[in-house]
Amino acid sequence: MSMSPQEIFEVASPAVSDPDATDQHVEAGQPITRGRLILRRFLRQKSGIAALVVLVLIFLLAYFGPYLTHWKFDDFDQTNILTGPDSNHFLGVDEVGRDVYARTLKGLQKSLVIGLVAALVTTSIAAVAGSIAGYFGGFIDITVVWIIDLLLVLPGFLILAILSPALAGKTWLWLVVLLAVFGWMVTGRVVRGMAMSLRERDYVHAAKFMGVPALTIIRRHLLPNMASLLIVDVTINVGGTILAETGLSFFGFGVQPPDVSMGTVLSDAQPLATTYPHVFMFGAGLLVLTVLCVSVIGDALRDAIDPSSGSSRL
Amino acid sequence: MTVTDKTLPDREPAGSPAGSPLLEVSDLTVSFGSEAGPVRAVRGVSYTVRPGETLAIVGESGSGKSVSSLAVMGLLPSSAVVTGSIRFKGTELLGLNDRRLSKLRGSGISMVFQDPLSALTPVYTIGDQIAEAVRIHQEVSKNQAHARAVELLDLVGIPNARLRADSFPHEFSGGMRQRAMIAMAIANDPDLIIADEPTTALDVTIQAQVLEVLKKAKEATNAATVLITHDLGVVAGFADRVMVMYSGKSVELAPVDEVFYTPRMPYTMGLLGSIPRMDVEEKEPLIPIEGTPPSLVSLPSGCPFQPRCPIAVDLCRTVEPPLADTDRPLHWAACHRSLEIAQRGWSAADVFVRPALPPADASLPPVREERDVVLALDNVHRAFPIRKGAVIRRTVGSVRAVDGVSFDIRQGETLGLVGESGCGKTTTIMEVMNLLEPQQGRIVVLGKDTGTLKNSDRRKMRADLSIVFQDPMASLDPRMPIGDILAEPMWVQKIPDERIKARTAELLQLVGLAPEHASRYPAEFSGGQRQRIGIARALALDPKVIVLDEPVSALDVSIQAGVINLLDELKVRMGLSYLFVAHDLSVVRHIADRVAVMYLGRIVEIGTTREIFAAPSHPYTQALLSAIPLPDPVKERSRKRILLSGDLPSPADVPSGCRFSSRCFVFAEQLDAEQQATCKGVDPGLYELGGDHRAACHFAKVREVV
């Protein structure tokens, strides 16, 4: 994240863009709802739409692509080792006789799922921890900030690498948990800052003076008002976690064989990248394309949600 | 009969001030693109400013008054489409490139903005910033420019100008920053000063100071001034001519007395009728203008004011009236019926309907002492520690925000708590609303001491005590539909769902909205409607006491009247008691039964509304009252202001003895040394002045100031 998200997301203010236009008469036609406005602004951005279309295609490919061939990702075709793409093996065969097409798509499935789930978990941790710290302040705040600072100075990759033998044979969901635990800190800090400013809003005061319990205030008033930040954060995190998972798996710390992910596919193919490029190119290309799409969508979403971020101005 | 806008300047009779116009704006239009379609912020405005005169542009938010002046300065964003003509000393400004415009800005035309904090660069000293303005337009050395800056700061009344020139903007108070802005504006002897709501962000006593400075600056440079404001009181005392704007059009243009005494456009009449008057004692309901200003995206056909105008005829609905001659010279109004208004001698009370107030509740005992006390504060203190140090934080002092406040409110009564920002009124109501034991003293709500409450009792008590906030934009959660917002207090008290639903509809009707509105979001409502929703939420549980934290100060005047009337009506109908916190004394005079004036964490004067306004006895109350401009040019010209020197002292460093002595005019001008020693040495308590009236002054003396 290059810009501080706090600057980008001025906490949900009802003013749309022009101060003169906000005082709309209720009876003067049905005003545009916020959701429709965001959708309209998003649809105006060609790059965002294109990326969304490509990403949907990638998902379709990952889940329906394997049905196009009779080869399974763990089949061995000893007769065609290292042959190039043809009608039998769409993308050729690797050095031990596995079908590159089937394997890559299987890996893509896993990476996409891990990326999505881990991004959701990451943002959820950040939202809960950050808003609780920001709303309550005091001792709770100090504790949460201390944990954030601690996690920020710990080398996450190294710890994941060290922990990975202990997780061998366990479900990949553990990997998701670990990726999330080491990935929520920056967003957590931002959420904490927003919670601290939202805490001083009159509507939060009003709720407090009605006697609404603190956790209910957080759930009902704080989190919905940060929704735009959180949504964009999830999107951007998807790209990040896919890369993190791929990196770990590449070095053998993440997804363990016989399970396949983009990381293991690429690490298996890496020695042949220069000699038999077909084994490597497809997977690498798909990975780059996926992450690129996700980040373009994230940008477009941010511009759509926050009109002051520049490019969406009329 | 009608004149087109273009020919206006030529048609002015010979009696007008001589000389060619300094600024000539003709047929100016400004529009912005928006999601909902083009926003036509200014639609064909023409006016002229002659050398040395002051033109006030008055209007509510969204009327285009600021946009039209930003267009003159060439400061509109590039997305704005501007047409028409703006001529300054005969030079066309529209279409001029930025470099040539920059030459003019500052030296020919200069501007004073509303928010002096964001208009000054935080990283340079005030002196440097003024010197920079001088050096851009004049060939002078750095030292000369600095000397000039000090001179200018001195002129606008900054004490110790030589020293203060080296201060940074954050070291200046709001009033001093605005003075510095004025100094910068007059640095190059401009011919025209545009002041965009120059005193809106300031307290009344500071506003009086700044307006005085602005007058002085005008005299020093003999510049013409365009004053943009929504405050008709400021206009009455400051302007030569007034232009009233409504939804992007100028609807009335006339000399100041004409506008105030013989308005010819119903909107102007409505504006004048809807402001509560500090100089009127009678408690009549205000005359609100129904409805809200139209959206600039979808204007109604015909006259834009027609949907809210009680005397609209068919012609008004089809043809938009141009700004035309009236029966009086130098007076133009955009109304088809302006001549009729003149012939029949209509005033606001004739054109608009003055709503009737329900009769007072007869079940309440008429004598105040016989009614129950619903809220009592007894010597309440609240101090915030000032801490220093990054690792080991130690307390180095304390801000005594509330320093011994006592008052009580009885059933069916409104106490107005007034004072300038920083006097501790917000802290006081926060102490009340928290329902916790104060640091010192006692708070008793409906006979129960908050210090002894159990958590469950406290939650129950919240049903009897509710609050309405100042800013209707901030007090409603933008992500919640109105129905849920109104239901929230009832959820907390575990009221069954069906009952909540019925009550929500009931509440919406009670505050003048439709039950169908429950599914809409706050952003779909105008400011006044949002404030009504805030009031409905406060009423949800049939409370006994409502704390009103400046409930109308964020609203436009025409909307404000409706909300004040609503509060008046609800109070009578539901037997409510209000703690009404405000800085606007005219509103307080209208709504309150008793008034408490706060200064630096203490109540300095308390009494019935009549006593406070007719016989103010504390010098601070007198200064406060005299600082408020009256919307009446003749009265305003004959009034003598008591100008307080300096700013509010910091509550972290309260002066010894009487805390007002550092700014007190009585102390400085009328007391001998021995008496001054008393003020400096002895902290005055609230002395009885007869009846309910008490003031914290050793030498209290009634002065008539309104």
Q: B601 in a domain, yes or no?
A: yes
- Residue that the structure tokens 């008469």 belong to: A25
- For the stretch B430-485, pLDDT in tens is 999 988 889 999 999 998 898 888 888 888 889 999 999 988 888 898 888 888 99
Q: B577 in a domain, yes or no?
A: yes
Could A20 and B458 be called an inter-chain contact, meaning their C-beta atoms sit closer than 8 Å? Answer: no
Mean pLDDT of B35-42: 82
DSSP H helices, A86-99, are none
Structure tokens at A92: 């050729």
**pLDDT on residue B547:** 94
CA distance B47 to B24: 6
When pLDDT is cut at 50, 70 and 90, the band that residue A19 belongs to is very low
Q: B76 in a domain, yes or no?
A: no
Could A202 and B35 be called an inter-chain contact, meaning their C-beta atoms sit closer than 8 Å? Answer: no
- For the stretch B536-556, pLDDT in tens is 999 999 899 999 998 888 888
The domain boundary residue, chosen from B607, B630, B653: B607
Instruction: Compute the 3-state secondary structure of chain B and give helix, strand, coil in percent, each to the nearest 5.
Output: 35, 20, 40
* Claim to verify: residue B443 and residue B552 sit in the same structural domain: yes
| pLDDT greater than 80 at residue A1 | no
When pLDDT is cut at 50, 70 and 90, the band that residue B390 belongs to is low
* Claim to verify: residue B346 and residue B426 sit in the same structural domain: no
The dihedral built from the CA positions of residue B455, B457, B459 and B464, taken in this order, carries a sign that is: negative
CA distance A80 to A84: 9
Looking at chain B, the whole-number percentage of residues with pLDDT higher than 70 is 96
- For the stretch A67-86, pLDDT in tens is 888 888 777 877 877 777 77
- The CA distance from A153 to the nearest CA of chain B, in Å, is 20
Backbone angles phi, psi at B245, to 5 degrees: -110, 145
- The CA distance from B462 to the nearest CA of chain A, in Å, is 6
Q: Which of residues 409-468 of B touch A (CB under 8 A)?
A: 433, 458-459, 462, 466-467
Q: Which residues of A touch B (CB under 8 A)?
A: 12-26, 28-29, 31-34, 37, 40-41, 201-203, 205-207, 209-212, 220-221, 224-225, 227, 313-314
**pLDDT on residue A22:** 36
* Claim to verify: residue B518 and residue B656 sit in the same structural domain: no
When pLDDT is cut at 50, 70 and 90, the band that residue A9 belongs to is very low
| pLDDT greater than 60 at residue A313 | no
Which of A21, A205, A220 has the CB atom closest to B36's CB atom?
A21
Bridge partner residues of B580 (DSSP): B416, B548
For domain A35-309, which CATH number applies: 1.10.3720.10, 2.40.110.10, 1.10.730.10, 1.10.10.10?
1.10.3720.10
CA distance A305 to A291: 21
CA distance B271 to B556: 10
| pLDDT greater than 70 at residue B126 | yes
CA distance B29 to B13: 27
From the candidates B249, B298, B457, B488, which should be mutated to test the interface with A, based on the most A CB atoms within 10 A?
B488
Q: Is B304 on the interface with A (CB under 8 A)?
A: no
Structure tokens at A68: 């196009």
From the candidates A209, A230, A306, which should be mutated to test the interface with B, based on the most B CB atoms within 10 A?
A209
The dihedral built from the CA positions of residue B92, B96, B99 and B105, taken in this order, carries a sign that is: positive
Could B492 and A212 be called an inter-chain contact, meaning their C-beta atoms sit closer than 8 Å? Answer: yes
**pLDDT on residue B514:** 86
Which of A21, A26, A40 has the CB atom closest to B39's CB atom?
A21
Residues of B in contact with A23 (CB under 8 A): 61-62, 292-293, 295, 526-527
What number of C-beta contacts closer than 8 Å exist between A and B?
A: 130
* Claim to verify: residue B596 and residue B614 sit in the same structural domain: no
Our count of domains for chain B comes to 3
Lowest-pLDDT range of B84-98, B304-318, B562-576, B637-651: B637-651
Could B62 and A24 be called an inter-chain contact, meaning their C-beta atoms sit closer than 8 Å? Answer: no
* Claim to verify: residue B415 and residue B543 sit in the same structural domain: yes
- The CA distance from B450 to the nearest CA of chain A, in Å, is 14
Largest CA distance in chain B: 79
* Claim to verify: residue B329 and residue B439 sit in the same structural domain: no
Q: B210 in a domain, yes or no?
A: no
- For the stretch A235-294, pLDDT in tens is 888 888 888 888 888 888 877 777 888 888 888 888 887 888 878 888 889 889 998 998
CA distance B418 to B550: 10
Mean pLDDT of B351-374: 79
| pLDDT greater than 60 at residue A2 | no
Q: Is B61 on the interface with A (CB under 8 A)?
A: yes
Name, in order, each residue with C-beta under 8 angstroms of B97's C-beta and a sequence gap of 6 or more.
none
Q: B614 in a domain, yes or no?
A: yes
Q: Look up the ipTM and state it.
A: 0.78
In the three-class reduction of DSSP (H, G, I as helix; E, B as strand; rest coil), residue B387 is classed as: strand
| pLDDT greater than 90 at residue A145 | yes
Could B41 and A202 be called an inter-chain contact, meaning their C-beta atoms sit closer than 8 Å? Answer: no
The dihedral built from the CA positions of residue B180, B183, B188 and B194, taken in this order, carries a sign that is: positive
* Claim to verify: residue B321 and residue B384 sit in the same structural domain: no
DSSP B367: S
The more confident residue out of B178 and B284 is B178
The domain boundary residue, chosen from B557, B588, B607: B607
Structure tokens at B23: 């600024």
| pLDDT greater than 80 at residue A314 | no
CA distance A25 to A34: 16
Q: Which domain holds residue B457?
A: 368-607
CA distance A278 to A85: 8
Distance, CA of A284 to chain centre? 19
**pLDDT on residue B596:** 94
Could B471 and A202 be called an inter-chain contact, meaning their C-beta atoms sit closer than 8 Å? Answer: yes
Q: B243 in a domain, yes or no?
A: no
- The CA distance from B60 to the nearest CA of chain A, in Å, is 10
When pLDDT is cut at 50, 70 and 90, the band that residue A127 belongs to is very high
Looking at chain B, the whole-number percentage of residues with pLDDT higher than 90 is 25
Domain boundaries, chain A: 35-309
Q: B618 in a domain, yes or no?
A: yes
Which of A21, A22, A314 has the CB atom closest to B79's CB atom?
A314
**pLDDT on residue A195:** 93
Q: Is B41 on the interface with A (CB under 8 A)?
A: yes
**pLDDT on residue B282:** 66
Q: Which of residues 253-292 of B touch A (CB under 8 A)?
A: 291-292
- For the stretch B627-669, pLDDT in tens is 888 888 988 888 888 888 777 787 788 888 888 888 888 888 8
| pLDDT greater than 80 at residue A115 | yes
When pLDDT is cut at 50, 70 and 90, the band that residue B17 belongs to is very low
* Claim to verify: residue B401 and residue B533 sit in the same structural domain: yes
**pLDDT on residue B455:** 86
Which of A25, A221, A227 has the CB atom closest to B477's CB atom?
A221
What Cα–Cα distance (Å) separates residue B133 from each residue in B115, B118, B182, B213, B574? 18, 17, 12, 19, 58
Mean pLDDT of B394-406: 85
Residues of A in contact with B64 (CB under 8 A): 20
| pLDDT greater than 50 at residue B569 | yes
The domain boundary residue, chosen from B584, B607, B630: B607
| pLDDT greater than 70 at residue B1 | no
Could B475 and A212 be called an inter-chain contact, meaning their C-beta atoms sit closer than 8 Å? Answer: no
Which of A23, A40, A209 has the CB atom closest to B293's CB atom?
A23
Which of B34, B471, B529 has the CB atom closest to A26's CB atom?
B529
| pLDDT greater than 70 at residue B3 | no
A227-250 and A100-136 helices, crossing angle to 10°: 130
Rg of chain A, C-alpha, whole Å? 23
Mean pLDDT of B162-178: 86
Mean pLDDT of A307-313: 46
Q: B290 in a domain, yes or no?
A: yes
When pLDDT is cut at 50, 70 and 90, the band that residue A32 belongs to is low
Name, in order, each residue with C-beta under 8 angstroms of B366's C-beta and a sequence gap of 6 or more.
none
**pLDDT on residue A18:** 35
Instruction: Kindly report the average pLDDT of chain B as a whole number.
Output: 86
- For the stretch A199-239, pLDDT in tens is 988 899 999 999 899 999 999 899 888 888 888 888 888 88
* Claim to verify: residue B433 and residue B503 sit in the same structural domain: yes
CA distance A225 to A218: 10
* Claim to verify: residue B380 and residue B279 sit in the same structural domain: no
* Claim to verify: residue B412 and residue B479 sit in the same structural domain: yes
**pLDDT on residue A306:** 67
**pLDDT on residue A289:** 92
- Sheet strand arrangement including B224-229: B109-112, B192-196, B224-229, B54-58, B241-246, B249-255, B332-333, B324-325
**pLDDT on residue A308:** 55
Could B32 and A19 be called an inter-chain contact, meaning their C-beta atoms sit closer than 8 Å? Answer: no
- For the stretch B279-316, pLDDT in tens is 877 677 888 888 878 888 888 888 989 888 888 888 89
- Residue that the structure tokens 């402001």 belong to: B275
* Claim to verify: residue B491 and residue B395 sit in the same structural domain: yes
